[in-house]
Amino acid sequence: MNQIILVDEIGYLPNDPKRAVYRGENETEFSIISASDGREVYHGVSGREYVTAAADEKNRILNFDAVTEEGEYYIKAGDEVSATFSIKEWVYRDAMGAMLKFFYLQRCGTELSQEHAGIYAHPICHDTDARIYGTDQFIDVKGGWHDAGDFGRYVVPAAVTLADLFLAIELDPGLLKFDFDIPVDNPDLGALLSEIKYEIDWMLKMQNPETGEVYHKVTCSGFCGFFMPEEEKEELVVSPASYAATLDFAAALAMAVKFYEPHDKAYAEILADASKKAFEAGLKMEAKGFHNPEGVVTGEYGDECVEDELYWASAEMYRAFGEERYRTIFDDMAYKHISHGYGWEDVYSFGNIAYILSSYPVDETLKNIIISAIDAKADSLMYLCRSNGYNVSFNERSFIWGSNMYLIQNASHLFTAYYFTKKEEYLEASKEHVHYIFGKNPCNVCFLTGFGSNRVLNPHHRPSAAKGKAMPGMVIGGPDSELQDPTAEKYLQGQPAAKCYVDELLSYSTNEITLYWNSAMILMLAQFVVLP
């Protein structure tokens, strides 16, 4: 569908800035039309022309900030019309609910009931003990969430997923009371903390009780076919412990303590002890990236630069427990090098935020240096935002595997800079990135499954393929101009970078999903305060 007028197909908040993109060279008049009765509620003229090289397009922005009345609308310009969209106060509530429920639907090691999972219900999967690689020892690592379109479970992306979710709760505490239709064993915890606990309980099993080190992942030795998880019957293998997994584990569980302490002090103590044990173990480990052991070919998450793991972990340990030695480690590292990143490969930003928000004393000079660095990073992203018709911080070199995640991370940088500097342009720009994911993009696709008129139908996701219907609430990876799978090579040769996306099951480089893409988007939506 080559739509000429592109909008956020989910919608806009009444008092937020509202932008659409018109793909055309000439200035045009446009109207906002009420979908319920066909009346024109606003008339405007498109803005200046942008050349968006990554999409090989000329674009004009349609501004309709003045439309604030709740309702359903579409845009008309000449003979062209947009998809219908909403303007309402809680416009992202359903999207948030679907994205949160996704974690429950990715549960491993338990039965999913038809009542809560619908067609994605299944009996217990992966319920056997797993062999520790290279040994005859088997351990219980049942539980947790399937990481992506496959059924592997990986500590490093799991830790980043939890970090996103905990920061989202801090931004929008209403998430703690949000009911997104999952079974809840402990009503005091609520749905989200209950679901996060399910993942944490698995992570605790991945820690070696003797050494404190944390095993990197548990998977079969290779990827399985496109069927439901209970049908994967190959032996489960626990890969060796890694530096990244151990320190990411320490950081994420340190974050968790304060959320569970009011409800279950004993459990919070378990988390604190496991976190501290992992941190001490990490200090003794060689700081190197993980590589798949021989014979294991599942997702590697092989981070070659791991100093940021210690940076993040030391900041979270200090924020959680206040011990001066944690701060000393962080201060020494930060004075040498300040960087940014919200992904599994680069977790510096989590460390920066933890340090700035610590209730324990910090070096105020260093704190201000970090905030200045965040501001400078945001300013560089704003240069990209201003130079293309989609108002996002990407250029033609930005479209790599998981591009939507990197775009959302840029939005997080912008919002973080707004949070600490109160520069409104950062807030507005971060929200434009959300609109991009929800349909205002060169592919004219709502990259959240189950939403939008031009929606993703064939994600690289095994339960979706097995049931013949895309599981709702999954954020898709997005355009990858490097064409890193045979399907992308077949369909996308010669396409502009921003349009190197294909809605095909086997295009794992453009159409897969992961836990931490969802959590990154949840963190971004939390800035809107989407829940009443």
Annotated active-site positions, please? 150, 460, 503, 512
Distances (CA, A) of 234 to 28, 130, 131, 231, 462: 60, 10, 11, 9, 16
Give the three-state DSSP class for 503.
coil
For 143, the token pair is: 């539980």
Give the three-state DSSP class for 372.
helix
Burial of 345 (0-12, 13-18, 19+ CB in 10 A): middle
Contact 78, 28 (CB under 8 A): yes
Contact 473, 438 (CB under 8 A): no
Bridge partner residues of 227 (DSSP): none
- Cα separation, 37 vs 408, in Å, equals 36
- Cα separation, 415 vs 423, in Å, equals 10
Bridge partner residues of 72 (DSSP): 86
Contact 251, 243 (CB under 8 A): no
3 state SS for 11-41: EECCCCCCEEEEECCCCCEEEEEECCCCCEE
Bridge partner residues of 42 (DSSP): 32
Strands 237-238, 217-219: pairing is antiparallel
Could you list the beta-strand ranges (E) of 350-422. Answer: none
- Cα separation, 84 vs 61, in Å, equals 17
Contact 388, 382 (CB under 8 A): no
Bridge partner residues of 71 (DSSP): 87
In single-letter form, the type of residue at position 78 comes to G
Contact 10, 54 (CB under 8 A): no
Burial of 1 (0-12, 13-18, 19+ CB in 10 A): exposed
- Cα separation, 176 vs 169, in Å, equals 7
Q: Which of 220, 111, 151, 228 is nearest to 464 (CA)?
A: 228
- Cα separation, 140 vs 477, in Å, equals 32
Contacts of residue 360, Cβ cutoff 8 Å, sequence gap at least 6: 318, 319, 322, 327
Give the three-state DSSP class for 220.
coil
Cβ neighbours of 310 (radius 10 Å): 23
User: What's the residue count for the chain?
Assistant: 532
